[in-house]
Amino acid sequence: MEFYKYQGTGNDFVMVDNRDLQFPKDKNIIEKLCDRRFGIGADGLILLENDPGYDFKMVYYNSDGGESTMCGNGGRCLVAFAFFLDVFEDKCKFIAIDGEHEAEIHNGIIKLKMIDVDTISHDGNDAVLNTGSPHYVKYVENLADYDVYTQGHNIRNSENYKEKGINVNFVEKISDNEIFVRTYERGVEDETYSCGTGVTASALTFLQKDNLTSVKVKTLGGNLKVYAEKNGGSFCNIWLEGPAKQVFKGKVDIL
């Protein structure tokens, strides 16, 4: 099987052109391909497929082999992959598990439209919201030295969230228009270098407190930017912007 490896701010994915629907959607195969010692190594695997009425369809699997909810960085990487395959020119519309998305690409920078967010609820002092995937957002200090794995693992497996799981984001304010975000991702069950839906969720909680329409976001894997329009407690016209790059391509035996 031919595959491509992409990364978006350190969030890495195995990409497969599955427009011929020949890829075996087997949990064990996908988990093996994502394994960093026995496979290619990735946070997830993404299939590019055809869908009537759209430029393409996104099918996303976590590294544990299970099909999962929306992945923002994965979506940006898939847009870059589709552009590489000449599926579209500069703007596209695709369908994912959470609905329709628009995107555009300019000089390797991908701007991806995310779903609207109607409400931000709270768990104590922390925020809970869905940006295509469920997210828990907690503000902390000294995030560079914070034990993201232990604290994220504990919240993800706590009584309220252990059944369906939740992604856990830790946020530190850097300035009036910039935050630092680190994320523990369910399905990966570890911290990743970046999480697109998590960055979006964290940015919206920050924008909720101020009259900003955009915020810069620092992650371990690089820098992103989130734009949004606020209407009371809801958000629309949400865009996630940042780089996505092809790392390498190859062939792998999946039998």
Cα(84)–Cα(82) distance, rounded to whole angstroms? Answer: 5
Tokens of 86: 């000449």
Residue 19 assigned as binding residue: no
Residue 186 assigned as binding residue: yes
Tokens of 106: 């300019």
> Does residue 236 carry a catalytic annotation?
no
> Does residue 71 carry a catalytic annotation?
yes
Cα(73)–Cα(10) distance, rounded to whole angstroms? Answer: 9
Residue 36 assigned as binding residue: no
Cα(43)–Cα(36) distance, rounded to whole angstroms? Answer: 9
Residue 223 assigned as binding residue: no
**Percent helix, strand and coil across the chain, each rounded to 5?**
20, 45, 35
Q: Which of 71, 77, 92, 236 is catalytic?
A: 71
Residue 50 assigned as binding residue: no
Residue 237 assigned as binding residue: no
Q: Which of 34, 77, 92, 195 is catalytic?
A: 195
Residue 108 assigned as binding residue: no
Residue 130 assigned as binding residue: no
Furthest-apart CA atoms within the chain: distance in Å: 54
Q: How far, CA to CA in Å, does 230 sit from each of 61, 116, 168, 195?
A: 31, 10, 23, 22
Residue type at position 160? N
Q: How far, CA to CA in Å, does 248 sit from each of 13, 23, 74?
A: 11, 19, 16
Closest listed residue to residue 134, CA positions, set 161, 112, 103, 172? 161
**Known binding positions:** 11, 62, 72-73, 167, 185-186, 196-197
| Catalytic residue positions, numbered | 71, 195
**Known binding positions for substrate:** 11, 62, 72-73, 167, 185-186, 196-197
